[in-house]
Amino acid sequence: MKVALTTLGCKVNTYETEAIWEQLKMKGFTRVDFNELADLYVINTCMVTNTGEAKSRQMIRHPLKLNPNAILVVMGCLAELNPDSIAVIEQVKVMVGTKDRERIPDLLDEYLKTGVKQLLVTPLEKNEPYDLLKVTDFSHQHRAFLKIEDGCDNFCSYCIIPYARGRVRSKPKARVLEEAKELGMQHAEIILTGIHTGGYGADLPNYKFADLLEDLGRIQEINRIRISSIEINELTERVIGIIASSEQICHHLHVPLQSGSDWVLRQMNRKYNTIEYREKIRQLREQIPNLAITTDVIVGFPGETDQAFEETCHFVEEIGFSELHVFPFSPRKGTIAASLPAEVPGDIKKRRVARLIAIGKRLAKRSIQKQIGSILRVIPERQRLGQLQGHSRNYIQVAFLGNAEWIGKEVRVRLISENYPLSFGEMLPE
């Protein structure tokens, strides 16, 4: 049978889709593109924003245009939080939420044997065990995601994810290290990911995120490690020291900000203020001078005044991020923020988003310009129009002349010009 898989949302979802594909591959399935004719379509859904939810629903309907008789398997956050709206679709024969995903192949077998829909969505328990998913080879990609954690305990007022994913659950140490070694032998870069990555170990006795970083650093098969995202208050002195001294951990951190207004941060139930954020960034740059820092910002949170937005713009400029990811506030039913008064009109949100994106591009170009002439360590990921393209350790995307034989191998590249988002360089002999 032919299977097509698609993922909406985050890196964690991407990892989980890949794990399901490995299970289906072992059962003899052949993978095709999601826009091709297949017997089975697997849709891993997202619900973090209105846009993510809408796209998820669109992708559930999309295969029916290609094959009205296809079997649909739906999993993920939308299935967890709104299963009834999916269960009514006739072609959805298997559905799980954000647990029991490893049971999908068996549930599919049961459907094929009995013809009875297998809809397995149950509430997440407070002490939910960690899942059994595993990835050994990330579909011929040169950068592999490694999920180390699930769930979140922060309960930011705008975020639906703790309700969809449950509380923090850490993958057991032995499983993480075994999987990291295996992926390290297959891929040039491993990206540590989770719903709350830096919260790893919160549920483990005497073993925290810093301990994991140290143990990963002892695995010789790993060339380089990237931390997908980490909260500012999880960047302890020990974690910073480990990153600064490591030959493997990339000098790039994605540290969500969300707002540069202390009033908005309090309304968001974030666990820091701008003074604490600023001081931690200072410490980071003092110990890791060439560190690239990227961030997320939410625009148009309820009650965000013109002054609060100006504070955010000023703070973003002051910090000098290497890249901004800007999102308009999206109310999620069931969260505190969804019922807050003083909603920001859509046209104002749109203007604010555009302004912050423009600021982000300017900051990104300035960050890259400072490194022109420097030598970067880049892993070519693809070849387009005769040029290799890949990311440096500090997350600059670079294009340069070179043969396809270098794809997936770390090479030295001198940065010669800035052209965000894709800059240009020249590969140097090893």
Distances (CA, A) of 388 to 68, 188, 394, 404, 420: 40, 15, 18, 7, 16
In order along its 430 residues, the chain shows pLDDT tens digits of 999 999 999 999 999 999 999 999 999 999 999 999 999 999 999 999 999 999 999 999 999 999 999 999 999 999 999 999 999 999 999 999 999 999 999 999 999 999 999 999 988 888 889 999 999 988 778 899 999 999 999 999 999 999 999 999 999 999 999 999 999 999 999 999 999 999 999 999 999 999 999 999 999 999 999 999 999 999 999 999 999 999 999 999 999 999 999 999 999 999 999 999 999 999 999 999 989 999 999 999 999 999 999 999 999 999 999 999 999 999 999 999 999 999 999 999 999 999 999 999 999 999 999 999 999 999 999 999 889 999 999 999 999 999 999 999 999 999 999 989 999 999 999 7
- Structural domain boundaries enclosing 384: 375-427
Pair (108, 153) in one structural domain:
no
Q: What is the pLDDT of residue 141?
A: 82
**Assigned domain for 77 exists:** yes
* Phi-psi sector, 342: left (phi>0), alpha (psi -120 to 50), beta: left
Pair (12, 98) in one structural domain:
yes
Tell me how crowded residue 365 is: count the other CB atoms within 10 A of its CB.
15
Pair (154, 104) in one structural domain:
no
Pair (116, 144) in one structural domain:
no
Task: Determine contact, residues 298/355, Cβ cutoff 8 Å.
Answer: no
Q: Map tokens 């299977």 to a residue.
A: 3
- Say which CATH number the domain at 90 has: 3.40.50.12160
Pair (195, 144) in one structural domain:
yes
Q: What is the pLDDT of residue 127?
A: 85
Pair (92, 149) in one structural domain:
no
**Number of structural domains, the chain?**
3
Q: Map tokens 């695995």 to a residue.
A: 219
Q: What is the pLDDT of residue 189?
A: 96
pTM for the structure as a whole: 0.95
Q: What is the pLDDT of residue 102?
A: 95
Q: What is the pLDDT of residue 369?
A: 96
Q: What is the pLDDT of residue 139?
A: 78
Distances (CA, A) of 344 to 256, 309, 331, 347, 422: 22, 11, 11, 9, 34
Pair (61, 142) in one structural domain:
no
Question: For 191, which DSSP code?
Answer: E
Distances (CA, A) of 277 to 281, 284, 366: 6, 11, 21
Q: Map tokens 């890249």 to a residue.
A: 323
